[in-house]
């Protein structure tokens, strides 16, 4: 049986989000709606009561089959600020570790009247698989799957760029490092192209920046100076050694010498270029402490923006699910 198209799967008949699985194929209008809604949530962090009732009475289950601290925590905060009840499932001690199938686990969670699953999985396509097999009233949010996608990370980076640069048109963006294994790079490439940046450069050694990314609209640079020349935004990626098979690099020190972002190499970008990193940061491997802690770094802003973006995505997906169920009820 052919799998359904995730781009069609995640939209209801009115074109609203009901799952959030990938940015591939989503319109500029939907991405802009996410950013605009996230902007409206940002001021909540400064309020004494950091809650709105948009998901009151709803149950959100965090299903993290892969380790994460920053992403899981910000999703939990986002759900609680939307007034949802939150369950964090410890996969290491759950029934799936005792032989229960993923589908059986999902069905048991659905029987507890869960409304949303936030899924992080080491296998590409896992959130899509879950969206195909879960109950029709459950929203699925992809919190990162294999090498495939990390759509909320890409969108919080888009919010960070827009808040610092004002617009996307005319911008040149360099993404530097382990592109091959990066789900963030793939999602950001989709988002940046959809939102209308002038150029996206993928920078790194040939072993970590395959040529097929040209087909996705990126320019490829294997020289750091050429990659950073005159760019407005620099996104640094860590080396994902846990996903590497074989010797793709001579050494970390050699990688840092050729591709590490230092004060000197950052000077090749525009003077007002911002520096981003999805984390976790490996200082002295892909970025120097001077740059990571410097005035041009907006890395902590990304974390703050992540809560607002995840609130936006969760509220939009839940609204889209409700709308889809109402339409289905009317048709019955």
The pLDDT value given to residue 107: 85
Cα 36 from Cα 308, distance rounded (Å): 10
70 is in an annotated binding site: yes
CA 17 to chain centre: 16
Q: Cis (ω within 30 of 0) for the bond into 148?
A: no
Reduced DSSP (H G I as helix, E B as strand, rest coil) percent helix, strand, coil of the chain, to 5: 45, 15, 40
- Summarize the confidence of residues 229-250 as an average pLDDT: 75
Cα 179-237-125 angle, rounded to 5 deg: 55
pLDDT recorded at residue 244: 43
277 vs 197, 244, 268, CA distance in Å?
A: 19, 20, 18
Looking at residue 251, what is its pLDDT? 77
Q: Percentage of residues in the chain with pLDDT exceeding 70? A: 90
Q: How far, in Å, CA of 193 to CA of 173, rounded?
A: 10
Greatest alpha-carbon span in the chain: 65
Residues 6+ away with beta carbon under 8 Å from 253: none
Phi, psi of 61 (to 5 degrees): -110, 120
| Residue 185 or 2, more confident | 185
- Cα(first)–Cα(last) distance of the chain, in Å? 27
Beta bridge partner(s), residue 149: 145
Taking CA atoms, 62 is separated from 65, 95, 106, 136, in Å, by 10, 15, 12, 18
Is 98 flagged in the annotation as binding? yes
Which residue is associated with the tokens 């925590």?
Answer: 73
| 280 belongs to an annotated ligand binding site | yes
H/E element holding 100?
Answer: none
Residue 249 pLDDT level (bands cut at 50, 70, 90): low
181 known member of a binding site: no
The pair of structure tokens assigned to 111 is: 């029987």
Cα 94–chain centre separation: 25
Pairing mode of beta strands 199-203, 85-90:
unpaired
Q: What is the per-residue pLDDT for 171?
A: 98
- DSSP reduced 3-state for 200: strand
Residue corresponding to tokens 């048709």: 331
Q: Supply the pTM of this predicted model.
A: 0.92
**Contact (CB, 8 A) for 119 and 98:** no
Check residue 201 and give its pLDDT: 98
Q: pLDDT (tens digit, 9 = 90+) per residue, 269-316?
A: 999 999 999 988 999 999 999 999 999 999 999 999 999 999 999 999
Q: Would you say residue 108 has pLDDT above 70? A: yes
Is 37 a known ligand-binding residue? no
Which pLDDT belongs to residue 213?
93
What is the Cα–Cα distance from 209 to 176, expressed in whole angstroms?
9
d(CA 279, CA 21): 21
Domains of the chain: 6-149+306-327 (3.40.50.1370), 151-303 (3.40.50.1370)
Residue 145 to residue 66: CA distance in whole angstroms: 9
Q: Is 205 assigned a ligand-binding role in the annotation?
A: no
Token readout for 283 is 């200082």
Q: What is the mean pLDDT of residues 42-68?
A: 89
Asked whether residue 96 is marked as a ligand-binding residue, the answer is no
Q: Tell me: is residue 47 an annotated ligand-binding position.
A: no
pLDDT of residue 254: 87
**Average pLDDT over every residue of 30-52:** 91
Split at pLDDT 50, 70, 90, the class of 87 is very high
Report residue 145: phi and psi, to 5°: -135, 115
């Amino acid at each position: 049986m052919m799998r359904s198209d995730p781009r069609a799967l995640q939209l209801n008949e009115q074109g609203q989000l009901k799952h959030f699985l990938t940015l591939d194929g989503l319109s500029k209008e939907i991405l802009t709606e996410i950013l605009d809604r996230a902007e409206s949530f940002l001021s909540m962090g400064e309020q004494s009561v950091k809650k709105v009732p948009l998901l009151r009475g709803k149950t959100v289950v965090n299903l993290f089959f892969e380790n994460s601290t920053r992403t899981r925590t910000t999703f939990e905060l986002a759900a609680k600020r939307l007034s949802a009840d939150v369950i964090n499932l410890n996969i290491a001690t759950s029934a799936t570790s005792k032989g229960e199938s993923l589908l059986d686990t999902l069905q048991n969670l659905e029987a507890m009247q869960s409304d949303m699953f936030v899924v992080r999985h080491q296998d590409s396509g896992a959130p899509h698989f879950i969206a195909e097999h879960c109950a029709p009233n459950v929203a699925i949010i992809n919190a990162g799957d294999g090498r495939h996608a990390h759509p909320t990370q890409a969108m919080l980076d888009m919010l960070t760029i827009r808040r610092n640069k004002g617009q996307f048109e005319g911008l040149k963006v360099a993404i530097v490092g382990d592109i091959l294994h990066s789900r963030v790079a793939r999602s950001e490439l989709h988002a940046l192209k959809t939102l209308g940046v002038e150029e996206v450069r993928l920078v790194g050694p040939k072993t970590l920046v395959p040529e097929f990314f040209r087909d996705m609209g990126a320019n490829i640079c294997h020289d750091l100076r050429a990659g950073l020349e005159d760019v407005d935004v620099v996104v640094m990626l860590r080396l994902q050694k846990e996903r590497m098979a074989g010797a793709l690099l001579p050494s970390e020190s050699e990688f840092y010498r050729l591709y590490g972002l230092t004060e000197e190499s950052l000077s090749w970008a525009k003077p007002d270029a911002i520096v981003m990193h999805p984390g976790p940061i490996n200082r002295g491997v892909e970025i120097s402490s001077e740059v990571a802690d410097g005035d041009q770094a907006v890395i902590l802003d990304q974390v703050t923006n992540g809560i607002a973006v995840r609130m936006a995505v969760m509220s939009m997906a839940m609204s889209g699910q409700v709308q889809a169920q109402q339409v289905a009820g009317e048709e019955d």
